Amino acid sequence: MLLQAHHCAWPIRWFRGAFADAEAHADAGIRLYDVVRHARQRFLYLGHDPAVCALSIKAVLQWLLGRPTQGLRSEHEAVDLGRRLKHVPSLAHALWFVCQGQIARGDAVAVVETAEELLALSEENGLPQTRAAALVYLGWAMGQTKDVAHGVQRLEEGISAWNHLGIRSNLCLSICLLGETYFVGGRYEEAMEQVELAIATSSHVGDSWCLPRVHMIRARLLEKGFRNPDAAEASLREAIDVAVLQCARGPELRAATSLARLWRDQGRRAEVHDLLAPVYGWFTEGFDTLDLKEAKALLDELARA
């Protein structure tokens, strides 16, 4: 029962934006877990293995908390365990949240591979919830790497299926990803509608973990689509404030880098260094990841100027 108490706690704390608490519950569950002793639990509680759940959600949490290398390790452990158990719903669960970790770190190529496997597994075994999630994530990845129109079609199909099931959790992220893909396709008005819907949905259901991402895409829309840099700056500051409140170093770095670019383009170079250097300096791993490489490149550019 204690294992399942932690199993109920870690996703709720994650959705609420309490990432350190969520990770502590996941770690406690992993310490209690025994693959033989707790084999029946994947059939009794929530339809999937608790350790697979803990590891796959930890992959997202570790990126959010500023440990991207550890997050990548948790992704592999979650999928490996899901395959070893030979329990389809547990493997689908692992692929589902590994997709979210890959989306969080911006690895669209990895998302295509993971989401395609999740989609095939879900359709073969009649799993409508993970099928809807796979369509959303695959659509986002396609929009980033290939055909934006086809990506939008997949996203809209996935969100429609999600709404048909009546599920509200994880909906905020899906709406945000549709807004991002509309933005890539130059459909700025529709993108802004989705961003505002994501903010309203987050407030309504209490799912706040991806709010910094929502504010960041809103800032990109305001800057590039609506030519309002002051409003874009306000949205980026809001993204940073939410990330700091959540102890979310990954989103904080990404938002700080975006704001630093905005200030650089406005000639505010001294402010750029003061903003970005302390956030970047906090990190001790993941220097080969996109976010850290982009932040370092910007700091190096300032140093040469």
What 3-state DSSP class applies to 133?
helix
Assign 114 a pLDDT band (cuts: 50, 70, 90): very high
Q: Residue 198 has what pLDDT?
A: 97
| Secondary structure in 3-state letters for 23-76 | HHHHHHHHHHCCCCCCCCHHHHCCCCCHHHHHHHHHHHHHHHCCCHHHHHHHHH
Q: What is the pLDDT of residues 257-303, one digit of tens each?
A: 999 999 999 999 889 999 999 999 999 999 999 999 999 999 999 98
Q: What is the pLDDT of residue 197?
A: 97
pLDDT band at 145 (very low <50, low <70, confident <90, very high): confident
* Residue that the structure tokens 């919830």 belong to: 129
Q: What is the pTM of this model?
A: 0.96
Residue 239's pLDDT band (boundaries 50, 70, 90)? Answer: very high
What is the predicted pLDDT for the residue at 304? 86
Quick: pLDDT tens for 189-222: 999 999 999 999 999 999 999 999 999 999 999 9
Mean pLDDT of 2-31: 97
pLDDT at position 73 is 97
> Which pLDDT band, with edges at 50, 70 and 90, does 305 fall under?
confident
Q: What is the structure's pLDDT at 18?
A: 98
Dump pLDDT digits (tens) for 41-62. Answer: 999 998 999 999 999 999 999 9
The pLDDT, as a whole number, for residue 237 is 98
pLDDT of residue 146 exceeding 90: no
Mean pLDDT, the chain, whole residue set: 96
Those residues whose C-beta lies under 8 Å from the C-beta of residue 9, and which sit 6 or more positions away, are 21, 22, 25
Q: Tell me how far CA of residue 175 lies from CA of 8, 168, 199, 204, 219, in angstroms.
A: 25, 11, 9, 14, 16
What does the alpha-carbon distance between residue 9 and residue 68 come to, in Å, rounded to a whole number?
23
pLDDT band at 91 (very low <50, low <70, confident <90, very high): very high
* Phi, psi (deg, nearest 5) at residue 86: 55, 40
